[in-house]
Chain A
Amino acid sequence: MSDTQNNGVAREVLSEVTIMFSGDSGDGIQVVGNQFASASSALGNDTSSFPDFPAEIRAPAGTLAGVSGFQLRFSSKLVQTEGDSVDVLVVMNPAALKQNIAELKQNGILIVNIDGFKDSDLKKAGYTANPLETEALKPYRVFKVALTSLTLESVAELGLNRKKALLCKNMFALGIACWLFDRPLEHVELWLKEKFGSREELLTANKLALNSGYNFADTMEMFGTGYTVPAAQLPKGQYRHITGNEALALGAVATSMRSDKSLFFASYPITPSSDVLHYLAKYKNFGVKTFQSEDEIAAISAAIGAAFAGDLALTSTSGPGLDLKQEAIGLAVMTELPVVIMDIQRGGPSTGLPTKTEQSDLLSALFGRHGECVLPVLAAASPGDCFYMIIEAFRLAIRYMTPVVLLSDGYIANSAEPWQIPDVDSLPEVLPNQPLSDRAEDIFTRDPKTLARSWIVPGMPGFEHRVGGIEKDYVTGNVSYDPDNHQKMTDTRLQKVQGIRDDIPALDPEELGSGDLLVLSWGSTFGAVSSAVEQLKREGLAVQMLHLRYLYPFQNGLKEVLSQYKKVLIPELNLGQLNALIRAEFLLDTEKLSKVQGRPFKISEIYQKCKQILAELPA
């Protein structure tokens, strides 16, 4: 920490801060969070953010069920997660306080909208006494602001009705936060201008509230000192913020551009995957066809139909939707058609925790269908990684004529991170398999290397053929109940998918070294695991991390790498699914770390577990 002078204000320099905005779901919390993140990135900080909102669109105002939160870590170093605990907590009402106070560090800054703490508000949150008047908040630095009345005063001159005026209170809060961390307001003002455009009155009101909040913090000298978080050393280039769902949509469009095929996307709205549909529906001028189907089954079925007819076929789902799609995924396996299924995992089983995150669909993706029904399963590691993994999913689907499941989850889907914008021309081309010959007898002939059949689509004269769910003859593709043929076809479908091993990056045991403990992760635990392992390494401990993006088949060299470590720990937001796969495949005595609370791992949870394992290792 050091001090700096800026605009006559003494500012303490911090390398990293975690802030959480929290309030009622109607308080505009997500807007504040996103704008604060955007302003921080524009200043050069690395960021990681995580919105946390209720399943109900508008739960009764002021209740615990209606609390909406946005957590952001901004840093002058590289960040992988939105932070374990928060340095600054901004709460708009007692429910938000109750829900989140445990996350605030000792001596952390708590900014409270005291106008939201009337008796009725306290009662709704289940407080019998006002926590602002008890000892409960003693461990924190509490700043009481009459946010509602100050906002109303700040826009009074415009003569807005009360309802409209109240909507500006999130901007007042944002103004305070911007002063506290030295974020210039211009960035937010530009955004306001874009959002409200010609709606002059609302634009002015929001700007006024924003500036009033900033000036209030400044002139009242409410915090004593302000803070600043200098820019991080990020690789040079052009950046933007991206969420996992947006990256999936962009990656799908990019694949279409790099394959000369139209993208066909069929989906049935389900949380947390619906945003992919919202994005793609807007990209019609990229030739994207979106189809909001009548149900989950129709979505995957339409995608299979589109693949049969030659489009780049994609569907997305979450939770229960994956169950419903499984029968049709089996049909895609049987008919060997390229379809990508994105599963944005959420808490389960059944309806489970629709808006919360979990990694519990892995085994379902691999084994959730009847019969011997293998397909490649991939998983994205972070929001930005979704962009590259959807391209990879399409590459494998088309090259191997197979459905591919790409796993994301609620955490990746909704969190945002700075993303270096790639050069489109540098992205891999995704090329369809042409017929192996112009002879109709070769319609079902397989590529000797990949074992894939060709992608022959209706409209190609001379190649008329039938596909279906019934077992087919290896040579002619006609219906066959022959026992030996079924064995051969079942074996071939397995070999084909396993052959993908040789087409994906192998793991180099030498490069990955050896040591006491390897932490093996997949999916969204990437951030927490890498942060924890970095910390352990800094302490000089022999810990390494390996992150898997290919869950089926595994990459070559995985067993060798795992065998080089005395202990392997597999942290997952499930009860040990990858752990079960690794044990079954390699007969290794790995250890699991499970969490199913609808929330991501904290860095400290991984860190502590590693420390414990290391302490128990025989000297």
Chain B
Amino acid sequence: MAAFEGIPATADLTKADFVSDQTVRWCPGCGDYAILSGVQKLMPQLGIEKEKMVFVSGIGCSSRFPYYMNTYGFHTLHGRAPALATGIKLANPDLSVWIVTGDGDALSIGGNHLLHILRRNLDVNILLVNNQIYGLTKGQYSPTSLPGKVTKSSPAGSIEEAVNPIAFAAAAGATFIARCLDTDVKELQRCLHAAASHKGTSFVEIYQNCNIFNDGAFSKISDRKESAETTVRLEEGKPLVFGKERNKALVFDNMSPKIVELENELEAKKLPVHDSTAGSAYTYLLSQLTYPDFPVPMGIFRQESKPTYEDQSEQQIADYTKKHGTGDIKQLLEGNDTWQV
């Protein structure tokens, strides 16, 4: 805009262009480092000018994220990032808006805003960094902590059911839903790239290890020796095959999940395949699968093409203007009942 108009957008940005001059202050070993690095690596691939990128966060460890990105950024209030981001996107739909939030920020204090941004389908990307614990306040249970979880505020174990973020997003009508692991660099890149390309609200849950207050919460999933058995990768158009020997598959029998043993590769070809556009009932079924009964689905659960909120808002303004003509302020002030003195 004004000051630098005419300067062409930088064509060949690199990861370094997205690293701010601020020292990163997460605990050594925190999963957030991998996520930050992954996002900084992804940005140059999106073909979007850096000045058009805005990172918005709430409060919590992961919400320090914007300070470390050399883009526009807003570290807002606890839980309110989706609401702030809505204002930003509506004011300027050209911006690429990224919300970075945590399990407490998004699902406890900010649950209402998350629900509404998802149902409105604003074209923004939400990274929900889920470590199943309150880190910044030093270790209390969070809305995604599992029942029985012993923490400083639940010495006898948490008596609360955990929120299932994927099921929450599906119920809210999210049009893009994915789940990744902080340390799975390749898959994280793939999901974030797909999220950025999706027109509408993209919701990506990222399992993140808090090595200080909840170390190993996802170790069954992240352990490279075990993950083949504990997770199933959601690959578009492919059956839900998993296992070290790739000899097991997840199928749904009359809405009930079932694991079938595969004798050979040919058998796998006859199985139903993953279809991320299949509808929210399918997303919900997938969201309910937890280890050890079932492998945990990782990857893109759901993608649906729907008009975005900001496009519809702009369209209404355009239609209104077409119908009533560009507003005449004099006429507006006069209203329809004037008199002369």
Contacts and interface: CB of A to CB of B under 8 A. Distances in A.
User: Are A and B genuine complex partners?
Assistant: yes
Interface of A: 38, 41-42, 44, 191, 194, 234-242, 250, 253-254, 257, 262, 264, 266, 283-289, 291, 293-295, 297-299, 301-311, 313, 327-328, 331, 335, 421-422, 424, 434-435, 438, 457-470, 478-479
A438 B3 contact: yes
B76 A468 contact: yes
B86 A41 contact: no
A469 B91 contact: no
Interface string B300-341: 000000000000010011001101111101101111111111
B7 interface: yes
B223 interface: no
Nearest to A467: B74
Given A236-B341, A240-B334, A460-B51, A308 B88 contact: yes
A464 B49 CA distance: 11
A453 B59 CA distance: 25
A390 to B, nearest CB: 13
A615 B326 CA distance: 60
Interface of B: 1-4, 7, 9, 20, 22, 49-54, 56, 59, 66-67, 69-77, 80, 83-92, 94-95, 112-113, 115-116, 313, 316-317, 320-321, 323-327, 329-330, 332-341
Question: Which of B53, B313, B337 has the most C-beta atoms of chain A within 10 angstroms of its own C-beta?
Answer: B337
Contact of A285 (B20, B51, B113, B327): B327
Contact of B329 (A234, A254, A467): A254
Given A284-B321, A305-B85, A309-B88, A466 B67 contact: yes
Going nearest first, the 7 A-B pairs with the smallest beta carbon separation are A305-B87, A468-B75, A286-B327, A301-B83, A302-B87, A309-B91, A466-B73
Contacts of B112: 294-295, 298
26 contacts: A238-B341, A240-B338, A241-B337, A254-B329, A283-B332, A285-B321, A285-B324, A286-B332, A287-B317, A298-B116, A301-B84, A301-B113, A302-B86, A302-B87, A305-B56, A305-B86, A307-B87, A309-B87, A310-B91, A335-B74, A421-B333, A422-B333, A461-B51, A462-B51, A466-B72, A468-B66
Given A253-B327, A458-B51, A297 B2 contact: no
Contacts of A287: 317, 321, 327
A76 to B, nearest CB: 13
A24 B329 CA distance: 37
A301 B92 contact: no
Contact of B22 (A250, A293, A478): A478
Given A304-B84, A421-B338, A291 B4 contact: no
Contact of B87 (A266, A294, A295): A266
A284 B66 CA distance: 33
Contacts of A307: 87, 91
A306 B88 CA distance: 5
A14 to B, nearest CB: 20
Nearest to A38: B337
A460 B2 contact: yes
A608 B274 CA distance: 81
B83 A305 contact: yes
Contacts of A234: 341
A238 B324 CA distance: 24
A458 B50 CA distance: 9
A238 B22 CA distance: 59
Nearest to B334: A421
Contact of B74 (A242, A305, A310): A305
Nearest to B7: A461
B80 to A, nearest CB: 5
Contacts of B313: 289, 291
B228 to A, nearest CB: 40
Contacts of B327: 253, 283, 285-287
Contacts of B90: 264, 289, 291, 302, 306, 311
Given A285-B325, A289-B313, A463-B51, A301 B80 contact: yes
B51 A470 contact: no
A460 B4 contact: yes
Given A304-B87, A421-B334, 13 more contacts: A289-B91, A294-B112, A298-B112, A301-B86, A302-B87, A308-B84, A309-B87, A310-B92, A458-B53, A458-B88, A464-B51, A466-B73, A469-B76
Contact of B77 (A301, A435, A467): A301
Given A41-B339, A239-B338, A286-B327, A462 B4 contact: yes
A615 B340 CA distance: 45
A238 B71 contact: no
B70 A464 contact: yes
Nearest to A241: B337
Nearest to A313: B87
Contacts of B72: 458, 464-466
Contact of A238 (B52, B75, B323, B340): B340
A313 B22 CA distance: 30
Nearest to A470: B75
Nearest to B52: A459
A159 B188 CA distance: 73
Nearest to B333: A421
Nearest to B113: A298
Contacts of B9: 461
- Among A191, A254, A458, the one with the most B-chain Cβ atoms within 10 Å of its Cβ is A458
Contacts of A310: 91-92
B317 A291 contact: no
Contacts of A194: 336
A299 B112 CA distance: 13
A479 B22 contact: yes
Given A257-B329, A328-B77, A284 B87 contact: no
B87 A306 contact: yes
B87 A462 contact: no
B3 A435 contact: yes
B320 A262 contact: no
B332 A250 contact: yes
Centre residue among A239, A304, A309, A438 by max chain B CB count within 10 A: A309
Contacts of B341: 44, 234-239
Contacts of B88: 305-306, 308-309, 458
B172 to A, nearest CB: 12
Contact of B339 (A239, A464, A468): A239
A294 B116 contact: yes
